[in-house]
Amino acid sequence: MDEFYKTELRRVFLIQTLPEPLTRASSHLQIFDNYIEKTRLRLRSVRVPETKQWTWILEQRFPANEKDLSHWKFSEIYLSEAEHQIFEQFEGREIKKNERVETNEVRFNRYFHDYKNKQIAIDVYLGALWGLNLAKVFFDNEKEMREFETPDFAVAEVTNNSYFTGANLIGKNVLEVMENEKW
């Protein structure tokens, strides 16, 4: 079954703000992740603001090992606009959780920053999560991942803290995230 999935090696860092020279006006992608309840699936919609071009991806993602969140298995299906319309029913769905209604969508802008010969994806969360910023570094192999030094603009490494995975951020606000004592 493993041959059906790609492996992603990554480390994740909590940051306060975009590192220089990036600003909120810098080139970025707008990402809308809608998690399909009771599955490991998400519908990702990506918009390029400059061109207004959309890309839609149906993804299945899960950690290769629940105790090591630096290794993820994933499979992707790129959707046409017509195919995406069939899956739109899963976008922005309301979910009842702990006596409150939440949406299954997490939104963020993704910026790219070159740092010590690595491109870092920086996610600036929107809506109720405004103020949460995560830097993700992707690697080609274990050695490269181990040897990578924490960026000087990082507040903390949160790679193995499941609290900061996309599906776990559904329905949370930035105050709840900052009160999380696990990081």
pTM across the whole model:
0.90
pLDDT at 101: 55
pLDDT at 100: 54
Q: How far apart are CA 72 and CA 62, in angstroms?
A: 6
Q: How far apart are CA 149 and CA 147, in angstroms?
A: 6
Low-confidence stretches of the chain (pLDDT beneath 70): 1-2, 93-102, 181-183
pLDDT at 78: 98
- The neighbouring-strand residues paired with 119 are 114
Burial class (CB in 10 A: 0-12, 13-18, 19+), 4: exposed
pLDDT at 27: 97
Q: What are phi and psi of 175, to 5 degrees?
A: -65, -40
Domain ranges for the chain, please list them: 7-179
pLDDT at 33: 96
C-beta of residue 158 within 8 angstroms of C-beta of residue 12: yes
DSSP state of 104: S
Q: How far apart are CA 168 and CA 58, in angstroms?
A: 18
pLDDT at 93: 63
First CA to last CA distance, the chain: 34
pLDDT at 99: 61
User: One-letter amino acid identity for 73?
Assistant: K
Secondary structure of residue 61 in the 3-state scheme: strand
pLDDT at 90: 84
pLDDT at 37: 86
Q: How far apart are CA 67 and CA 64, in angstroms?
A: 9
Buried b (16+ CB within 10 A) or exposed e, 140-152: eeeeebeeeeebe
Fold of 7-179: Hypothetical Protein Pfu-838710-001 (2.40.320)
